[in-house]
Amino acid sequence: MSHRVADELGYKDMDNISAASSRHNSENLPYVHKVGVTPKQNLLKEIAGTVKETFFADDPLRQFKDQPRSRKLVLVFQALFPIFEWGRNYSLSKFKGDLIAGLTIASLCIPQDIGYAKLANLDPQYGLYSSFVPPLIYAFMGSSRDIAIGPVAVVSLLLGTLLQNEIDPSENPVDYLRLAFTATFFAGITQFTLGFFRLGFLIDFLSHAAIVGFMAGAAITIALQQLKETDIVSVMRSAWSAAHHGWNWETILIGMSFLAFLLVAKYIGKKKKKLFWVPAIAPLISVVLSTFFVYITRADKHGVQIVKHIRRGINPSSLNEIFFSGEYLAQGFRIGVLAGMIALTEAVAIGRTFASMKDYQLDGNKEMVALGTMNVVSSMTSCYVATGSFSRSAVNYMAGCNTAASNIVMSSVVLLTLELITPLFKYTPNAILASIIISVVISLVDIEAMTLIWKIDKFDFVACMGAFFGVVFSSVEIGLLIAVSISFAKILLQVTRPRTAVLGKIPRTTVYRNILQYPAATKVPGILIVRVDSAIYFSNSNYVKERILRWLADEEEQLKESSRPGVQYLIVEMSPVTDIDTSGIHAMEELFRSLEKRDVKLVLANPGPVVVDKLHASKFHEMIGEDRIFLTVEDAIVTCAPKMDLEP
């Protein structure tokens, strides 16, 4: 690395200048530090380190270090079944909180489950089945203290739409049900596989903005489905047709009045947190009152549609119903993968939200294994895809749950309902189930989140709206496809077109920052400083080279117009460049040659350890010269500026 240079040396090319001092320029310049080169790592250790950071970033095996074999076996068992870890310290005071929370979410889930089963085009009992077995399994294997397990609106809608595309549930209900169990089985396999092989990061490719849009579009579609339509165009036709053939006023009265009651209850719970139980029990009160009203008035004889029959008893086995071969196997696999991914995205997001609120760690991959196992077993016990429900989890949290035991309490209440109470739902009007579903999905339309997305990132807003309109005007599959496509497009755009910036010196400091962000920052005469804000890979290396040369051309043009000396040094600030590949090295070599032809010297500042290693491995440091690689931009300026004074 260069140190100080004296005027007596005359003009020297930077490649031939080493550390020197001068009598003419004898002032004490700051010491210029050399850029460190990390010791060469063993290849196997390097691969092991990369694998660890990719798949085991949270270091899940830390707790097993320095433990005897017997203790390790106990820890493995507790890792698979967390209930045996928190159960050791379980107390009566904790049970009281879990009991109240479990009873509260049970009162919410029973009417919801019946409605969600309708969304999936299944008989009501299958919704209740899915809130009996899955919560029990999750309570043993799940690590979240707050998630309430069961069917959810979006996954029910997705399943109902995709399954109906393959089999008409009215014409072939047996095979439709079997396909639902098959999809649930493969949803569980997908979730388990992602968790077991620690591939949970794959669900992060569906951006938050795309999820917000998809959920909002699904909410609108679910509301429209209560009018027997699946898109906004169809519902307008339906409304026009109904206006000519007449409306059933009893159905409208039941639906609208109880919808208003549910929305008021939700508003009360939102405004006064202590009254969280009001919106939680409102659906059950609505079902009881509406059922009683229909029974005493016999409104079912006047066109009000009712549930009619819910099968009594606990879940029957469905292992023999799953398609393990035949024409529907592939369809079941495809639908299961989609449903499993959406269910995972929702559950992990909910789990992380409440874990951060209570300040505890949630292992996403362990959650996936738990959810996957849960859905595989569920598919064999007449359940369809279950996951974490945000509305129930929020109530569970507000009700004071302490552990996953609240899911056991809820499951027990659902068991009693299946064994004793299901005949009482015979006269429950379908309109009240529609009202419950609409009141729940309204909260999925998050206007506040959409507004924030618009303010923060316009491209994210495009992804959000693309997913929203795709679901509303076409179908759930199209909306999901648009959401994923736009999310990937954004990633590709950011990778292939990274940001670059021209830097200037902040007055009275040695700090160099983007001149657009800091207008007071000044450029150094004869030196252009460019920062690359991304790793340099094959996908963007050519763009990075061309963009740097374009910055240089723009700078030269401005200097020429103002009759000032041209650029002599181009400093590339590389602190944001986390990595560089072979194409990136070739691009830097081409940049070096292009600059040589323009009599501009290339200088690098603050390359990271990975980049430095690869620069040395490719011998690029010899091409550019060791004395042109600096620890900071200030070191480069201190060294280069005196040399410009020496040049004629």
pLDDT over threshold 90, residue 229: no
CA distance 111 to 151: 12
Q: Are residues 343 and 207 in the same domain?
A: yes
* Residue 507 belongs to some domain of the structure: yes
The tally of domains found in the chain comes to: 2
Please report the pLDDT score of residue 241 as a whole number: 54
481 lies in a domain?
no
Is the residue at 458 inside a domain?
A: no
Assess whether 434 and 545 both reside in one domain: no
pLDDT of residue 15: 37
pLDDT at 204: 75
Cβ-count burial 174-206 (b if 16+ within 10 Å, e if not): ebbbbbbbbbbbbbbbbbbebbeebebeebeeb
Q: Where are the alpha helices (DSSP H) in 120-248?
A: 124-129, 133-141, 153-166, 173-196, 208-225, 232-245
Pairing of strands 601-605, 569-573: parallel
Q: Give residues with Cβ within 8 angstroms of 354, minimum separation 6.
A: 144, 145, 146, 147, 393, 397
Q: What is the pLDDT of residues 240-275, one digit of tens each?
A: 554 444 467 788 889 899 999 999 999 999 888 888
Which band of pLDDT confidence, cut at 50, 70 and 90, is reported for residue 64? Answer: confident
Same-domain pairing of 437 and 502: no
- Taken in order 299, 301, 307, 308, is the CA torsion positive or negative? positive
Cα 490 to chain centroid, rounded: 14
**pLDDT value of position 324:** 95
Residue where a domain terminates, one of 407, 423, 441: 441
Statement to judge: residues 175 and 263 lie in one domain: yes
Going by pLDDT thresholds of 50, 70 and 90, the confidence category of residue 234 is: low
Q: Of 421, 441, 461, which closes a domain?
A: 441
Same domain as 380, residue 511: no
Does the structure show a pLDDT above 90 at 17? no
φ, ψ at 422 (rounded to 5°): -55, -35
Span 65-85, pLDDT tens digits:
778 888 888 888 888 899 999
pLDDT tens-digit map of 513-552: 999 999 999 999 999 999 999 999 999 999 999 999 999 9
**398 lies in the same domain as 298:** yes
pLDDT at 2: 39
Q: Which residues contact 314 (CB under 8 A, 6 or more apart)?
A: 129, 132, 415, 418, 419
632 domain-assigned: yes
Q: Are residues 288 and 374 in the same domain?
A: yes
What tokens does 299 get?
Answer: 């409104």
Q: Are residues 521 and 604 in the same domain?
A: yes
Would the pLDDT of 9 be above 50? no
Whether residue 466 is contained in a domain is answered as: no
Residue type, 255: G
39-53, 281-295, 371-385: the lowest-pLDDT one: 39-53
Instruction: Kindly tell me if the per-residue pLDDT of 157 is higher than 50.
Output: yes
Same domain flag for 272 and 370: yes
- Residue reference for tokens 């290396």: 541
Q: Are residues 520 and 401 in the same domain?
A: no
Three-state secondary structure of 56-114? CCCCCCHHHCCCCHHHHHHHHHHHHCCHHHHHHHCCHHHHHHHHHHHHHHHHHHHHHHH
Is residue 642 within 8 A of residue 13, CB to CB? The reply is: no
Residue 200: pLDDT above 80?
no
Give residue 267's domain range: 98-215+248-441
Average pLDDT over residues 304-324: 92
Mean pLDDT of all residues in the chain? 87
Are residues 37 and 613 in contact, defined by beta-carbon separation less than 8 angstroms?
yes
Query: Would residue 315 count as lying in a domain?
Result: yes
| Domain CATH code at residue 594 | 3.30.750.24
In a domain, 43, yes or no: no
Tell whether 192 and 339 lie within a shared domain. Answer: yes
Within-domain flag for 490: no
C-alpha span between 586 and 542 (Å, rounded): 9
| Residue 22 pLDDT class (50, 70, 90 cuts) | very low
Same domain, yes or no: 522 and 433: no
Report for 30-34, 384-388, 562-566: range of highest mean pLDDT = 384-388
What pLDDT was estimated at residue 66?
77
Q: What is the pLDDT of residue 232?
A: 54
